[in-house]
Amino acid sequence: MTIPRGKIVYENLDSSIINFAELLSNLNATEFTGYMQFNLPGLDGIFYLENGKITDAFCENADNKQMGQDAVNEIIAKIKVKENSGKINVFEMPGDIVKLLANLGKGEIVYQDLSNDFSSLENLLTKLKNEGHNGYLEISTDDKKTTALIFLQQGEPVKSIMSTPEHVASKPVQSQDIIDVTSKTKVTFNVYKAALSLSDSREHLITVYEINEILEVWAAIINAIEKQTDPKTFTKVFKQTLIDKADEYPFLDPFATEFQYADAKASFEGDATKDFNKGLAESLQITMSNLGIPGATVKEFQNIKNQFADIINKYSFNNELNKLITS
């Protein structure tokens, strides 16, 4: 995968030494926007971040590739094996470019390893325009010191970025700028077909390092609901609800023992999942309904929202809590 270099924030961090949880926490605290690049033993990957939150991810090895939450879990699992010494790079980039970069890895290759020895980039763009191509072009010199991406919709360039030995990819460029630079040296083109996603609505993917903060909030919420009825009755109804929701949210299955709640404490031993907050909120809504507990009667809910406001905002699950309050 070809990604032009952004502004270097960290370069060549040793994955076997770095405190990765602290690194992610710092990027979140500074509302970092850009990408993290991983070159790990047997695995290459990318985290895309917007305002400090991981919004997408991609990884691949010799056998397959993964995207989204699965990629996040795979990369972190590899980093946690400290015998695996790899490299981590962090590059800052504007948010509009990060949204486009998240399309990389989702495309289907159409033309591979084309060379401007046989056809110029200008001619290739004309051909793709005539075909109404949707997707992107990867462009790189043999030494990878100059790399570029051109994103196309209906054959028209919608955005282009480029990094050279003199300049990082800190802002979009014109496709003509890339044509001018690459016409002076040998370059290789890869053309991918893809439906570009430019949406501003991005999910926050969760890492295993973040789950404990989230669990602290949910433990308080569950305990507040539990106090509204007999604890044994609550446990029975809640457990049955988790069983009923297990097909939709396997991590909630009580028999899998990934998520557990007891004595006002919650724990989770599985892989992080972006549906964690949604699944738990839906299960609690059903539990409250089955027990005849209106959300408005649980007075502690508002105190919990105030107490954990920073965590709730950090992981964007205000909507889930509001549904409980109004249920």
Same domain, 188 and 223: no
If phi over 0 gives left and psi between -120 and 50 gives alpha, with beta otherwise, what is residue 321?
Answer: alpha
d(CA 168, CA 178): 13
pTM of the model: 0.77
Residue 206 lies in a domain: no
Query: Residue 21 has which token pair?
Result: 């949880």
pLDDT of residue 269: 85
Q: Kindly give the pairing relationship between strand 108-115 and strand 87-92.
A: unpaired
Query: In Å, what is the CA distance from 28 to each residue of 55, 166, 249, 282?
Result: 12, 29, 27, 27
Q: Is residue 278 part of a domain?
A: yes
Same domain, 130 and 42: no
Least confident of 75-84, 90-99, 237-246, 265-274: 265-274
Whether residue 244 is found in the same domain as residue 321: yes
Task: Looking at the structure, tell me whether residues 170 and 234 fall in a common domain.
Answer: no
Are 176 and 229 in a shared domain? Answer: no
The two structure tokens encoding residue 297: 């009667």
Q: What is the pLDDT of residue 319?
A: 85
**What's the rounded Cα separation, in Å, for the pair 186 and 175?**
17
Show Cβ contacts of residue 231 under 8 Å, excluding neighbours closer than 6 positions: none
- Write down the pLDDT at residue 48: 95
Pair 45, 134 in one domain:
no
Instruction: Mark which of 136, 165, 193 sits at the end of a domain.
Output: 193
Beta carbons of 259 and 267 less than 8 angstroms apart = yes
Asked whether residue 293 falls in the same domain as residue 247, the answer is: yes
Q: CB atoms < 10 A from the CB of 251, how many?
A: 19
How far apart are the C-alpha atoms of 103 and 312, rounded to whole Å? 28
Least confident of 90-99, 200-209, 227-236: 200-209
Counting the structural domains of the chain, the total is: 3
| Any domain includes 300 | yes
Tell me, yes or no, whether 198 lies in a domain: no
* pLDDT band at 202; cut points 50, 70, 90: low
pLDDT at 207: 83
Q: Is residue 275 part of a domain?
A: yes
Per-residue pLDDT band at 324 (split at 50, 70, 90): confident
Same domain, 304 and 241: yes
Q: Quick one: pLDDT at residue 249? A: 92
Higher pLDDT, 199 or 258: 258
CB < 8 Å & 24+ apart, contacts of 57-64? 57/205, 58/1, 58/104, 58/105, 58/106, 60/1, 60/105
Q: Are residues 181 and 238 in the same domain?
A: no
The CB density around residue 171, as the number of other CB atoms within 10 Å, is 11
- For CA atoms 281, 286, 290, 294, give the dihedral sign: positive
Judge whether 100 lies within some domain.
Answer: no
Residues 215 and 319 occupy one common structural domain: yes
Alpha-carbon distance of 287 to 238, in angstroms, equals: 6
Q: Which residue has the tokens 């400090």?
A: 52
Question: Confidence band (pLDDT; 50, 70, 90) for 119?
Answer: confident
Question: Which residues span the domain enclosing 181?
Answer: 107-193
Instruction: Give the three-state DSSP class for 147.
Output: strand
Radius of gyration of the chain (CA): 24
Average pLDDT over residues 120-126: 92
In terms of domains, do 216 and 286 share one? yes
Whether 33 is in a domain gets the answer: yes
The verdict on 216 and 320 lying in the same domain is yes
- Overall average pLDDT of the 271-283 stretch: 85
User: Which of 136, 161, 193 is at the close of a domain?
Assistant: 193
Among 151-165, 241-255, 304-318, the minimum mean pLDDT is found in 304-318
DSSP label of 95: H
Query: How large a percentage of the chain has pLDDT more than 70?
Result: 98
**Structure tokens of 13?**
């961090």
Q: To the nearest whole number, what is the mean pLDDT of the chain?
A: 89
Q: Which of 139, 159, 193 is the last residue of a domain?
A: 193
Which residue in 33, 54, 67, 29 sits closest to 203, CA to CA? 54
Beta strands 147-153 and 43-50 are unpaired
Collapsed DSSP state (helix, strand, coil) of residue 36: strand
In a domain, 169, yes or no: yes
Residue range 148-193, pLDDT digits in tens: 999 999 999 988 999 998 888 878 889 999 999 888 889 999 999 9
Count CA atoms within 13 Å of residue 33 on its CB side.
13
